[in-house]
Amino acid sequence: MALITKAVRGTRDVLPGESQELRWLERVALETAEAFGYFEIRTPVFEHTELFERSVGDTTDVVQKEMYTFRDKGDRSITLRPEGTAGVARACLEHGLLAEALPQKVSYITTCYRYEKPQSGRQREFTQFGVECFGAASPAADAELISLATTFYATVGLESYRLEINSIGCPACRAHYLDELRKYFRTREDNLCPTCLDRLDRNPMRILDCKSPICAAEAALAPRITEYLCEECAAHFTGVKTLLEQLEIPYMVNPRVVRGLDYYTRTVFEFVSELPQTDGLVIGAGGRYDGLIEELGGQHLPSLGFGLGLDRSWMHLRAAEAALPERRRCDLFLATRGETALAAAARYAFELRGDGVMALYDVTGRSLKAQMKYADKVKARFTAVLGEEELACGTAKLKHMADGSEETISLSNFAEELEQHLLHSEEASLFELFSGFESIKEDS
Ligand SMILES: [Zn+2]
Ligand SMILES: [Zn+2]
């Protein structure tokens, strides 16, 4: 029979054998965030559409063209989150977290949805590691936030990227800049792509990061926001740069980094891949959004955050052939002969699994030979055969598959003896450092 349907365009399945790599990235991400005082928050995948119109901005490409918006059966306008910050800010306001000791720091792993043209590194469903720090106005908060991202990259072994930073000012100084920018591009209207012509009125800063080479050529000579910053914004930007230098975090100032979302103020930054295979891909981005909480109905609360693309980090790591955790191997395969032995194997496996050991036995009724073939396929470290003989004498031969050596172990003390062997076998993989196996090692 033919398949009913295929996955929706712009979505990607993560298969067994790959998923442990992403799970490891997610785990390192949240644990790195915790070391910086951020705790995980989980918010719904969909929100009222109005939330994104108000926060992301109703003139942005994201809101105008890219959102998955629908009416639910109660006739509410609902949107799948196109980014992580708005929902998290909404949740923190709703639950009074912003009335507690500040800054309030939260982290999350989240899927986001944007109806964009799929291409390498850009899916319509994507996963982000995000953090938000509410209630911190000082440049020290910006530098600390950026150092959290670089610590995460360093911990997972992600190299060959650059950090680009910019300041897009506050609403006061930006208004003046936008006027100048419009004036500049108006004289060059004939050279702009249709999208940028459309941006000229509502969002001229976005012309600066247009990918069209003709627009880019015009943008190269455009006025730079950094020359229009008010005194406070300029001092803030200088503060951020000085602190990054003190933390020895390399960066370059790129006046064309503007980000596409309305809520950003002052510092914005991007992490850009420099690998040949993923060159120019933005693997993470963030910035300050001092006006967002007020926009959502809270008090004025300077805040900032980032979203690092986990799919993109993963692509980058794979392209770099970095060390990634392998799928966990079977610790023990119990091959069986006969019904009684199968029942015994099930009991031993039950006990071992309770201790975090991956123990398998045959549930398909295969011959002993076929069972051993399967044990090879799942790369079992140890195998043992259980039959009437073994059950009668109360011992079984434990075979170490790496070197073929065998040892007789007592069935009455099966779990304990096996775990001792597992401890001393030398094939600990990267993944096991993060699995339940670790706790066995610590306990004994
Ligand atoms: Zn300003
Ligand atoms: Zn353009």
Same domain assignment for residues 137 and 162: yes
Decide if 74 is inside a domain.
yes
Q: CB 294: neighbour CB atoms within 10 A?
A: 12
Span 76-115, pLDDT tens digits:
999 999 999 999 999 999 999 999 999 999 999 999 999 9
> Which of 262, 297, 319 lies at the terminal end of a domain, its last residue?
319
Q: CB 272: neighbour CB atoms within 10 A?
A: 19
- Give the integer Cα–Cα distance in Å for 79 and 46: 5
For the whole prediction, is pTM greater than 0.75?
yes
CA of 211 to the centre of ligand 2 (A): 7
How much is the pLDDT for 112? 98
CA of 182 to the centre of ligand 2 (A): 14
Strand order of the β-sheet with 161-167 is 39-40, 104-113, 125-134, 303-309, 282-288, 265-273, 161-167, 252-253
Same domain assignment for residues 345 and 431: yes
Decide if 180 is inside a domain.
no
Tell me the β-bridge partners of 112: 126
How much is the pLDDT for 235? 98
Same domain assignment for residues 155 and 90: yes
Same domain assignment for residues 416 and 300: no
Q: For residue 57, name the pLDDT band (cuts at 50, 70, 90).
A: confident
Decide if 103 is inside a domain.
yes
How much is the pLDDT for 2? 83
Q: For residue 431, name the pLDDT band (cuts at 50, 70, 90).
A: very low
Same domain assignment for residues 288 and 348: no
Same domain assignment for residues 351 and 436: yes
Same domain assignment for residues 105 and 234: yes
CA of 61 to the centre of ligand 2 (A): 13
Same domain assignment for residues 339 and 283: no
Tell me the β-bridge partners of 396: 409
Q: For residue 441, name the pLDDT band (cuts at 50, 70, 90).
A: very low
How much is the pLDDT for 363? 97
* Residue ranges making up the domain that contains 287: 19-170+230-319
Same domain assignment for residues 371 and 412: yes
Terminal CA-CA length for the chain: 53
- Give the integer Cα–Cα distance in Å for 304 and 287: 6
- Give the integer Cα–Cα distance in Å for 301 and 279: 36
> Which of 291, 319, 347 lies at the terminal end of a domain, its last residue?
319
Same domain assignment for residues 286 and 353: no
CA of 35 to the centre of ligand 1 (A): 32
Span 208-249, pLDDT tens digits:
888 889 998 999 899 999 999 999 999 999 999 999 999 999
How much is the pLDDT for 58? 84
Same domain assignment for residues 355 and 252: no
CA of 396 to the centre of ligand 1 (A): 76
Q: What is the mean pLDDT of residues 6-26?
A: 96
Span 271-289, pLDDT tens digits:
999 999 988 999 999 999 9
Q: Copy the structure tokens of residue 37.
A: 């005082």
What value does the CA radius of gyration of the chain take, rounded to a whole number of Å?
A: 28
Give me the number of domains the chain comprises. 2
Q: Which ligand is nearest to the CA of 167?
A: 1
Determine the Cα angle at 352 with ends 351 and 355, to 5°: 100
Encoded amino acid at 137, one letter: A
Q: Which ligand is nearest to the CA of 170?
A: 1
CA of 236 to the centre of ligand 1 (A): 9
- Give the integer Cα–Cα distance in Å for 290 and 85: 13
Please give, one letter per residue, the 3-state secondary structure of 367-402.
CHHHHHHHHHHCCCCEEEEECHHHHHHCEEEEEECC
CA of 212 to the centre of ligand 1 (A): 29
Decide if 269 is inside a domain.
yes
Span 131-188, pLDDT tens digits:
999 999 999 999 999 999 999 999 999 999 999 999 999 999 999 999 999 999 999 9
Q: What is the mean pLDDT of residues 393-397?
A: 95
- Give the integer Cα–Cα distance in Å for 193 and 214: 8
CA of 227 to the centre of ligand 1 (A): 11
Decide if 203 is inside a domain.
no
> Which of 319, 350, 373 lies at the terminal end of a domain, its last residue?
319
What mean pLDDT is reported for the chain?
92
Q: Which ligand is nearest to the CA of 172?
A: 1
What CATH number corresponds to the domain at position 385?
3.40.50.800
Decide if 311 is inside a domain.
yes
Between the alpha carbon of residue 226 and those of residues 7, 242, 351, the distances in Å are 45, 16, 65
Residue 427 has pLDDT above 80, yes or no: no
Same domain assignment for residues 279 and 423: no
Q: For residue 426, name the pLDDT band (cuts at 50, 70, 90).
A: low
Determine the Cα angle at 192 with ends 190 and 195, to 5°: 130
CA of 438 to the centre of ligand 1 (A): 51
Q: Which residue has the higher pLDDT, 103 or 199?
A: 103
Write the CB contacts of 382 (distance below 8 Å, at least 6 apart in sequence): 331, 332, 333, 398, 399, 400, 401, 418, 421, 422, 425
Residue 50 has pLDDT above 70, yes or no: yes
